[in-house]
Structure 1
Amino acid sequence: MEVYDILLKKLMSLEIQPEERISVDKLARELGVSQTPIREALSQLEIQGLVLKVHLSGYRAASQLTRKQFDDLCELRLLLEPAAAAKAATLMSVGELDELSTLAARMEEPSPSDPRSAYNAFAQQDARFHAEIARASQNDLLREIVTQQRVHLHLFRLRFYARVTQDAIVEHAAILDAFRRRDPSGAATAMRAHIENAHARFKSVYED
């Protein structure tokens, strides 16, 4: 397993707790590698918003979403992503639709024996699915916002919840069906339902 994948699993499973200091030396000893691949993986995770580089202090795991941040993200997504889906339904090329369908099909493939690794991989694929829809809308600013928020990795980090993947697969299929029909209204409706359902699935984290 690559160093990046190992660290991602530790972060997503909360083996490395939110705001916990991440020791490069300790990880290098634990994984039996030099510091270089550790630093490269941490830099990649920093870009994804899962770790933070603190001046004179090294790396720390990013904070977990607060309830307000969680609700704000859902509100932002509801403003942006249904509109992006509607535009994508009419502007998406055949090649982009095929690529999106392939990505969705990959998310339906049988999971490896390690459910945590499968869950983390699904989170990354889910993020790409939404980013590709935003890109197909041909609105560069919208795509930039959707991509930079890295919503999906942060949501899936809230709690390991295997049913999330099965529910999302069904909702992705509804979005794709609207794209195949070139139906902007249907695409917006399906995307809105997907975001609202995702919000409902994860909000239980804050109600325990």
Structure 2
Amino acid sequence: MIAKDAVFGTRPEDRSPRDAILQRPSLGDEVYQRLVDDLIALRIPAGARLSVDGLARRFGVSQTPTRAALIRLEAEGLVVKKQFTGWSVAPLPSPEQFAKIFELRCLIEPASAAGAARLASPEALAELGSIAEEMRAMAAEDITGHRAKLVVLDSRFHSAIAAACGNELIEDALGRLFTQMHIFRLRYHSDVAQAVIEEHIDILAAIGARDPARAETAMRGHIEAGRERIEAHLDAAD
């Protein structure tokens, strides 16, 4: 088990050949994605301290994009910064916070799915289809080793629907909610992951059929099922 008070990125053993990032224009985005991947895969636990200098050396970049990535993660609620102690991974949302997240999702996402069914462009439908196809391919394998990838695809799928409905405020709001749920989504076992994939395919079918009512119903059912899955996990953890 990884100690919560360990400072990640400061030790030589924290670095591996795959960690070095090639120099490119969007270094901040690259560092951000690497850190999100680490958080999703639970390689960095809640409460762990993060060293700007250590992370910069680990990824082979300067402190500027590293700090930019941490600021972005702070805005999304995944890391926190305190005076004197610096950056650390944020604690997991409480059961009460999760309940509020799902309450808001139930208000927003069914409407965004209905809007996508009415307004999605051919390009948006193609993007959703591509994401769903990746999920189908995963369903044919052992999902246990691909849970982090499923989390990323899950977030991309919902974000793509929000973008397809034509309301950028909805897209931004949902993006902030999704990041706070990633770690608990990773606790899905294979049967649950299969159900999630099938629910996404049902939503896509409704949107592709240009059926707003069906898309709204499918999305609401998916969100309610997700809430039940996370509540079951929280109850088991008590």
Q: What TM bracket, shorter-length normalisation?
A: 0.7 to 0.9
SS at 1:59's partner residue? strand
Give the structure 2 partner of residue 50 of structure 1: 78
Give the structure 2 partner of residue 161 of structure 1: 188
CA 28–90 in structure 1, closer or farther in 2 if over 3 Å, else same? closer
Give the structure 1 partner of residue 24 of structure 2: none
- Separation of aligned partners in 2, 1:79 and 1:32: 40
Residues 78-98 of structure 1: CA distance to partner in whole angstroms, max 9, x if unpaired? 111001111110111111111
Residues 23-50 of structure 1: CA distance to partner in whole angstroms, max 9, x if unpaired? 3455567x48466475465445445432
The range that moved more, 54-63 or 12-21, is 12-21
Report sequence identity in percent: 36
Give the structure 1 partner of residue 170 of structure 2: 142
Structure 2 contact 135–197 (Cα < 8 Å) conserved: yes
Normalised by the length of structure 1, the TM-score is: 0.82
Structure 1 contact 53–59 (Cα < 8 Å) conserved: yes
Structure 1 contact 24–35 (Cα < 8 Å) conserved: no
CA 28–75 in structure 1, closer or farther in 2 if over 3 Å, else same? same
Give the structure 1 partner of residue 132 of structure 2: 104
Q: Name the amino acid aligned to 1:146.
A: L
TM-superposed deviation, 1:200: 1.2
Unaligned runs of 5+ in 2: 1-17, 21-30
- Separation of aligned partners in 2, 1:95 and 1:34: 35
TM-superposed deviation, 1:147: 2.0
- Separation of aligned partners in 2, 1:129 and 1:76: 18
SS at 2:181's partner residue? helix
Q: Name the amino acid aligned to 1:109.
A: A
Give the structure 1 partner of residue 149 of structure 2: 121
Give the structure 2 partner of residue 87 of structure 1: 115
RMSD: 2.8
Structure 2 contact 47–90 (Cα < 8 Å) conserved: yes
Q: Point out the structure with max Rg over C-alpha.
A: 2
Unaligned runs of 5+ in 1: none
TM-superposed deviation, 1:204: 1.9
Q: Name the amino acid aligned to 1:162.
A: H
- Separation of aligned partners in 2, 1:44 and 1:122: 22
TM-superposed deviation, 1:197: 0.9
Residues 35-70 of structure 1: CA distance to partner in whole angstroms, max 9, x if unpaired? 647546544544543222334432110120100011
- Counterparts of 1:1-208 in structure 2 under 5 Å? 1-2=18-19, 4=31, 7-25=35-53, 31=58, 33=60, 36=63, 39=67, 41-110=69-138, 115=144, 118-149=146-177, 151=178, 153-158=179-184, 159-163=186-190, 164-208=192-236
CA 15–182 in structure 1, closer or farther in 2 if over 3 Å, else same? same
- Separation of aligned partners in 1, 2:171 and 2:90: 23
